Amino acid sequence: MEKTNVKMVYQYDGSKFCGFQRQNGMKTVQGEIEKIIFRTFSQKINMISSGRTDKGVHAMEQVSNFVIDSKIPLEAIKRQINKCLRREVKVLSIEKADKKFNARFNAKSRTYLYIMRDEENITPFEANYVTGLRKSVDAERFQEIMHDFVGKYDFSGFMKKDKAYRNPIREIFYVKCYYDEKFGKKQVNVEICGNGFLKTMVRIMIGSALAVYFGNEEKDYIRKRLEKPNVDGKKILADSEGLYLYKVSY
């Protein structure tokens, strides 16, 4: 039977899932989507995705591809996922892709967005979507600290152990820190764009930069760990709530 390689772009609320990657006995983004397609269309698929997000991390634009029988209407897949995972996942677009398209390996860049705000200005309705800080952060000063990450480095000092990724070399193209128009200096947004990211890498980057900013680590902490990535097993994690997979470029 003829097969179609499908490209799907979608969003999800990470607070509703135990991470992205399929796990036995756990509710995950990949696991739920694959189950819906199996139950509805009797098709067992394996989603290949631009990245795998941690528990509590959201996506404004995740991209996946999978192979399915050509007779199944793509709009029916979109409709079924949006219906079954309402308020959790939303498929933005679904289309037939080239047979060689691979959502992971063809991605030229991924951009993550981290949102952090003075915790006194976070409502209970926002608590799963913004990281709370005890004190406000100056965007310009935080930009200077984060700039140390820009370039091509061994990031094994800024990742959790992961058997799936043997090569820890990644390149960060840019980091942009700016105030949110709505909240002014109470909220800082951080965009990090790179060719790829290791397990929990963005959260450790942000956590390390915050430790430097608030004086819990030396000013050269980031540079030293990039120069000697395996000096110790220390990892400083920022909270997951404010992190979003923002966009993927091909």
Active site residues: 54
- Rounded Cα distance between 54 and 226, Å, is 23
Task: Kindly give, in sequence order, each residue whose CB lies less than 8 Å from that of residue 246, ignoring residues fewer than 6 positions away.
Answer: 60, 61, 111, 112, 113, 191
Counting Cβ atoms within 10 Å, is residue 174 exposed (0-12), middle (13-18) or buried (19+)?
Answer: middle
- Distances from the Cα of 56 to the Cα of 25, 32, 186, 197, 239, angstroms: 17, 16, 23, 17, 9
> Which among 198, 110, 194, 206 has a CA at the least distance from the CA of 155?
198
Determine how many CB atoms are found less than 10 A away from the CB of residue 201.
24
Q: Are 30 and 40 in contact (CB under 8 A)?
A: no
CA atoms within 13 A of residue 107's CA, in its CB half-sphere: 24
Length of the chain: 250
Cα distance between residue 141 and residue 162, in whole Å: 32
Three-state SS at 76: helix
Strand, coil or helix: 38: helix
Cβ atoms of residues 113 and 189 within 8 Å: yes
CA 130 distance to own-chain centroid: 14
